[in-house]
Amino acid sequence: MSSRFHAATPHSIFSKLEDLARVSGLIQRHSHKFSAGGFLFALIQCATRGNSSFQHLATSQAGFEHLPMTRQGMSERLNPRSSEFLVRVMNELLSDDAKGASSSPFQRILIEDSTVISMAKCNAEHFPNNGNGKIDTAGCKINLVTDSVSGQPVSAGLHDARNPDQTIGFDLPSICRAGDLIVRDRGYFSLDALEEIERRDAFWISRLPATLTCFDGEGTYLDEILKTTKSSRLDMDIWIGRHRAHRCRLIATQLSAKETEKNRRQRHRDSKRHQTTASKRGLIQDGWSLIITSVEDDRIDPDQIYKLYSIRWSIEIQFRAMKQSNQLHHSLNHRTDPFLIEALVLAVLIRQLLTIDLQVRLNDSLPPDKRVSIEKLSDAYSHHFLTRTQENLRESFRYDLRHLIHEKRKRPTLYAATVQCLA
């Protein structure tokens, strides 16, 4: 083997697949035509290639079994038990309890976001999506939570595309621990959820929703404060909510004239599309970057708050890597069996969790100035899964670090930015 190539041992989850399949009822007795490992790898291969028929799935599975299975036999395997098996595999990948770094002021920095997997509208009966009440659209939503300190995924789930982030966001406060920091976009904003996070002695950071009523200790509304202030940066206590005021910290930074004009043009376009009038409050806030948090000013300064919030972009990159490294959109561009759709999406999510875990393991073996790109690793790992058969199923993943490392740029990597703001 060339010195430029290295090998990563397979994840321990692969040795547990048969047991998980029996617990879920997917496998009840031994068969030469069907195995848990072959089923999972066949699903990943079909999603990566963009295939979605039972014939394609049976053909891929045949590469991992002693005897081939018919298309009809494969269709009978896709049922609630197959979905339960894949969910158990996903939960097993999330079961490890990663510890926060000792240099971090927080135990964990939990970043949460979601992405919608679109599909042909003929699947809207089983996977309805928001169509603004005018047209039928179809899709499902993947919600992911990762710990920015350890890099490991903490929670993952498949949801109805019409299920708002605000509703999904109630799950995370129930699993957060004392000393955690939760960073989420304003789509997850809920006073009830924020109060639950604080009751657990954890912290949160969020953008300020434009519709939220805010005022200072003297009862002056935020709009008036922003209009009259001569400072370009505000760091102050503020109360949010109309019916029950909740105290938090506001960091407001004035935007440039160019950014302000861009935001206001977008607001006017959105208002025209919805046949409404742009709100005065929104137009005022378009000139500011508004972050609210429960983290006290003696713990971290405003610049660190902005850096911590910007880390949220890391999960967007993970979603982008997941979508770019497979052809799932081709698999779902026509009418497909609902259990097969669910299995394909869950398989893609499982492969992404495996990729994130591998990225963490590779980064642990590298010096701090070198980091593995999740997008490059996703592409390479996809090729690894595509070349698996019964003969090489247990072989290690071979990789060349030169093809996986972040390219040198003037701006730091997300990992470097995290370490820098926590130092």
pLDDT tier at 1, thresholds 50, 70, 90: very low
Distance from C-alpha of 194 to C-alpha of 374, rounded to nearest angstrom: 31
**pLDDT for the residue 422:** 60
**pLDDT for the residue 10:** 82
Tokens of 32: 């030469």
H or E stretch including 265? helix 257-273
Distance from C-alpha of 17 to C-alpha of 313, rounded to nearest angstrom: 33
User: Is the pLDDT assigned to residue 103 strictly greater than 90?
Assistant: no
**What mean pLDDT is reported for the chain?**
89
Note the pLDDT tens digit of each residue in 332-377.
Answer: 999 999 999 999 999 999 999 999 999 999 998 888 888 999 999 9
Note the pLDDT tens digit of each residue in 272-287.
Answer: 888 888 888 888 989 9
**pLDDT for the residue 3:** 47
User: Is the pLDDT assigned to residue 102 strictly greater than 70?
Assistant: no
Q: Using an 8 Å Cβ cutoff, are 204 and 176 in contact?
A: no
Ordered by start, the domain boundaries in the chain are 5-93+326-422, 203-305
Helix, strand, or coil here: 391?
coil
DSSP annotation of 102 reads: T
Q: How far is CA 400 from the centre of its chain?
A: 26
How open is the CA angle 312-316-319, to the nearest 5 degrees? 140
Note the pLDDT tens digit of each residue in 264-320.
Answer: 999 999 888 888 888 888 889 899 999 999 999 888 899 999 999 988 888 999 999
Which residue has 């990663």 as its token pair? 98
pLDDT tier at 70, thresholds 50, 70, 90: very high
**pLDDT for the residue 259:** 93
Q: Using an 8 Å Cβ cutoff, are 98 and 147 in contact?
A: yes
**pLDDT for the residue 412:** 59
Residue with more model confidence, 134 or 208: 208
User: Is the pLDDT assigned to residue 218 strictly greater than 70?
Assistant: yes
Distance from C-alpha of 73 to C-alpha of 58, rounded to nearest angstrom: 8
CB count within 10 Å of CB 70 equals 12
